[in-house]
Amino acid sequence: MLNDASRFSPAAKRVILLTGFDPFGGDMQNPSWLIAQALHGQRIAGHVVIAAQLPTVFDEALQHLQALVAAHQPALTLCLGQAGGRAALSLERIGININDARIADNRGHQPIDTPVVPGGPAAYFSTLPIKAMLRATLCAGVPCEVSQTAGTFVCNHVLYGLMHMLARGTGQAGARGGFVHVPWLPAQGTPHLPLRDMVRGIHTALWTAMLVQSDIALGAGATY
């Protein structure tokens, strides 16, 4: 399913954009950014990983992401975020067109029931092969699951906004994108995962996403 002609163009950029967030809600660190930093510069399937930090701020995070996608023209963008209380890497299936913040973001904004994109579609699916990524990550021995909700805070905002910009043609033709929530680090609370395991899991998931174009290639209804 290598249907993306730009892959073979000499002008095509060979970048994987990997983002993480700054700490929020009183936390001192955010594992999503530590994971992204750990993978910065890695070569995966002929592409180089570029790590970038997004602010945990509504709208500003999307402005940053839009500029990054426009500048780097990534073949694949994976955004990472922290989800305290989850015990496994959570491969998000869907972003929805709603901001409904339980707490204030890092600039004190707390939007309630506003759209991410006024007039935009209700939701976007991730275009990453989440079932293939799930299998490979579990095979690597890292706890992993498919998640049916990225919440309604800045992470969902970024997933929805990323898929909207890709659908509207920002960046490389055929570029894919998605989102993974990660658990706390041991120092932040329970449940948690060690940083090295999360880095290995995201590395495996990225390789799989680059090698498998779509879950449809696995056959409809690929099981857990």
Instruction: Name the DSSP class of 72.
Output: H
CB within 8 A of 160, min separation 6: which ones? 95, 96, 97, 116, 117, 120, 123, 124
Q: What is the DSSP letter of 191?
A: S
Q: Which stretch binds ligand PCA (CB under 6 A): 10-18, 122-130, 136-144, 153-161?
A: 153-161
Question: Could you tell me the smallest distance in angstroms from the CB atom of residue 124 to ligand PCA?
Answer: 16
- Quick check: 52 binds ligand PCA (CB under 6 A)? no
Taking the C-alpha atoms of residue 151 and residue 143, their distance in angstroms, rounded to an integer, is 20
Q: Is 92 a catalytic residue?
A: yes
Closer residue to ligand PCA (CB): 44 or 160: 160
- Do residues 146 and 126 make contact, with C-beta atoms less than 8 angstroms apart? no
CA distance 82 to 88: 11
Among 17, 24, 76, 204, binds ligand PCA (CB under 6 A): 24
Give the active site residue among 79, 92, 144, 164.
Answer: 92
Among 156, 189, 213, residue whose Cα is nearest residue 31: 189
Instruction: Please identify, using beta-carbon distances, which residue of 175 and 180 lies nearer to ligand PCA.
Output: 180
CB closer to ligand PCA out of 56 and 97:
56
Residue from 74, 151, 161, 178 that binds ligand PCA (CB under 6 A)?
Answer: 151
Alpha-carbon dihedral of residues 62, 68, 74, 78, nearest 10 degrees? -40
Among the listed residues 144, 155, 157, 192, the single catalytic one is 155
Determine if 81 is a binding residue for ligand PCA (CB under 6 A): yes
Q: Which residues bind ligand PCA (CB under 6 A)?
A: 21, 24, 30, 32, 56, 81-83, 151, 153-155
Catalytic residue positions, numbered? 92, 155, 181
